[in-house]
Amino acid sequence: MKKLTPLAILAALALAACNNSSPDTTDAATDSNTEIENGNAGSGSGHDSGDMAVETGDSNGASDDEFVAACLSASNQTESMCTCLSERAEADLTETSREFLIATLNEQSDEVTELRSRMSMEEMSTAGMFLVTASTQCAREGRQ
């Protein structure tokens, strides 16, 4: 089976975001559990953090290894770039979005479909744009 190029993966993620048929895509804006506190958007979970980051994996970095391995196998990126992308994914994506991206990179279509059904439109959009924005940020840091 041919490996997907990063461009093909991005296109698939963008299409997946557009085709998301989860029930929350038709919810009224008042049904959102996002709160604005002190100018920061929060998840409504009572934490002061304004980002969507969710810790994943265990303390030995197993989730990082999984992301890096998926990145290396699905692209022509360097280990340095894949490590940077993994760090950014840990900081910028929800656990479900991160799992979705790993499953996409590993061409696990059944898992991708299942995870997509649990994701909000915001998570789909963030995951869809992640490789573009994070790759650019990592390249600017010289982690090519």
- Kindly state the tokens that stand for 31: 């049904």
On the 0-12 / 13-18 / 19+ scale of CB atoms within 10 A, 50 is middle
Query: Over 70: is that where the pLDDT of 16 sits?
Result: no
Residue 101 pLDDT class (50, 70, 90 cuts): very high
Closest CA to 72 of 84, 60, 90: 84
Is the predicted pLDDT of residue 98 greater than 90, yes or no? yes
What number is the average pLDDT over the span 7-18? 50
